[in-house]
Chain A
Amino acid sequence: MRTLKFLLRKEFLQIFRDHTMLRLMIIVPVVQLLVLSNAATFEVRQARTYVVDLDNSSASRGLVQRLVASGRFDVSARSSSMALANEALLSRDVSVILNVPADFERDLVRARQAPVQLVFNAEDGAGAAVLQSYAARIISGYAAELGQLRPTFTTLEGATAAPAVVAAPRIDLRTRGWYNPELRYYDYMVPGILVLLVTIVATSIAAMNVVREKEIGTLEQLNVTPVTKSQLIASKLLPFWIIALVDLTIGLGVAKLVFDIPMRGSLLLVFLAAVLYLLAALGIGLWISTVAETQQQAMFISFAINMVYLLMSGLFTPIQSMPTWAQWIAELSPVKHFIVIMRAVLVRGASIEAVQVPLIALAAYGAIVLTMAARQYSKTVG
């Protein structure tokens, strides 16, 4: 224990002396959290819309007005030429074209149904799909509104409509979005990005720290002293374990104060999960340091590993949408389990029983990865 004390003192002296690295480990993650949380969103803001209204009737104007009133669409140009509209779409001046054909109102009244055309720039994929679902909801709402107003139409057109059937089957459909009823992206992304930042500190920076001593030669010097392998490993990993936890604490503070993340569950549970997760993450960092000879290699290997882990973790894209084989790979990633726990506890207020499966998985990963990495370390280094 005394030896470990001296080794730890040395590590902390070195860490606190290197102001650049310290800044990179403490301040930069906070800045990243602030910026990236805003960037990582599929939320659809106002879409610039090109309106080609060939009917120019009260019904078509009403439709455009409803779209604009929703706040999701914004008429930025109109003409009666589809060719011009297409050109605007190609040069990204608009992202949606609404084309109301001639006779829209007449068809609505006579045939009780009429088509409109919506053209989306699907270059942004996800955004277009969300926008489409908004448009569909607004349009069907407008149609229902028109249906109730039908008497007005009949008088307007002078035609008589069949009386409404009293016993039409109706489903009173209500929808509820639990846990995040206002659909706030921050609630979803901030816990995930926090995981990302903590992971980088625990794997890349820890691995590079060990490899640096290898490169300089001081590691060999330590290996001929009575310092045992486990003391050495502990002295290398503990500081980053602590720094990552400090990062997490600061990050949670920012999440609460700046982004107003709900934090419905127990923070203690979050830290318990973090403590276990970081063991696995540091184990991966330690393993990288046994494979890499130079800091450059360490960085590339950790980048390659982190990339696969993070992309497969459900941080940015839903895991349930992945093919089954990919979901199995995701299952093998400790990052996935930690993100699941973070979101479940912070956003849904899950209890320890609800997250016991991923929690046990994390503990198992931590134990296995760290043991294997430590064994590999003892075998290859020195």
Chain B
Amino acid sequence: MNRPENVSGPAPPRELRLAQIQPAIEVRSLTRRFDDFTAVDAISFDVQAGEVFGFLGANGAGKTTAIRMLIGLLAPTSGEARVAGHDVRMEADRIRRRIGYMSQRFSLYEDLTARENIRLYAGIYGLSDAAIRERTETLLNRLRLDSHGDTLVRSLPLGWRQKLAFSVAMVHEPEIVFLDEPTGGVDPITRRQFWEMIYEAAQNGTTILVTTHYMDEAEYCDRVSIMVEGRIAALGTPAELKAEFGASTIEDVFVQLARPTAEIAAGMAAGSAGTPTSRTMPSG
């Protein structure tokens, strides 16, 4: 799969835009310990505004812990991080107004309708009644959900629910969106549509930090970081990483990094010999 044509075409040169603005996310030696276990071990990176930043790693590598610190759900043990220019420790309240979040667990209320879910989150973010009405219609229209606006989310197909969840996370037009494994369990076509939505958001200037299990999705990102055992083992554009590790796909890069440490190496190696795309990583 390649980057969808229709959204990447008419944009101004991305590199130019990225260079001008201060980083959307700045992370310096961010660390989180749980008792003796260090889940995130002094990671540092910047994410530029408007960038699509991929966060890769095996289960338990520390991705979710890192994200939870950035969005203010978890206090860091040490280190610093600034999101949208605000300190995660001191200004979590200000950060919350400017970010969106979609978690791997399902974040919509299944016993509410699509319309009610949108209205709830739009209301929480302080949109005016008129704006809520207008946004709701636009969103439903764009998702081709017009006729299902009053259907309980429970009764919608998984793919639609996931796209709706993304739209809800974007309802207040946040500067930065955190997506924690947003495409788990959906079919390839829906995944492609989902990534089109991500690009459209990035096109409009939204910064996106996304974690994923799908190695082919990593290729869509502007830059990728690969976490192994709480540390960032590699960081760069997909092309840079492939060149650095002499690999043809990001999946190969990942396998090389993970091999020495994880027991899953054997399973990964066996799996990677098959189709190089769309493989999920085994959990470990």
Contact = CB atoms under 8 A, between A and B. Distances in A.
- A associates with B: yes
Interface of A: 2-3, 5-7, 9-10, 13-14, 17-18, 216-218, 220-228, 382
A220 B73 contact: yes
Contacts of A7: 120, 124
A2 B124 CA distance: 8
B73 A382 contact: yes
Interface stretch (B35-43, B108-116, B259-267): B108-116
Interface in B96-149: 96-97, 99, 101, 103, 105-112, 116, 119-121, 123-126
A225 B119 CA distance: 14
Contacts of A14: 109, 111-112
A9 to B, nearest CB: 8
B162 to A, nearest CB: 14
A221 B124 contact: no
A10 B123 CA distance: 11
Given A2-B123, A3-B126, A7-B124, A225 B96 contact: yes
Contacts of B116: 10, 13
Contacts of A218: 106-109
B72 interface: yes
B105 A216 contact: yes
B72 A3 contact: no
A155 B110 CA distance: 92
B61 interface: no
Given A218-B108, A221-B103, 18 more contacts: A9-B123, A13-B112, A13-B116, A17-B111, A216-B106, A216-B110, A217-B103, A217-B105, A218-B107, A218-B109, A220-B73, A221-B101, A224-B99, A224-B101, A225-B125, A226-B124, A226-B126, A382-B73
A215 B185 CA distance: 19
Contacts of B96: 224-226
B124 A227 contact: yes
A165 B186 CA distance: 104
B71 interface: yes
B200 interface: no
Contact of B97 (A9, A10, A220, A226): A226
Interface residues of B, number: 26
B106 A217 contact: yes
A182 to B, nearest CB: 49
A10 B99 contact: no
A176 to B, nearest CB: 57
B103 A2 contact: no
Most buried by A among B71, B93, B106, B107: B107
By Cβ-Cβ distance, the 5 closest A-B pairs, closest first, are A6-B123, A217-B105, A221-B107, A224-B101, A226-B96
Contacts of B125: 225-226
A227 B72 CA distance: 13
A20 B106 CA distance: 23
A10 B101 CA distance: 19
Nearest to A213: B109
B183 to A, nearest CB: 17
A117 B179 CA distance: 84
A18 B101 contact: no
A214 to B, nearest CB: 11
A18 to B, nearest CB: 7
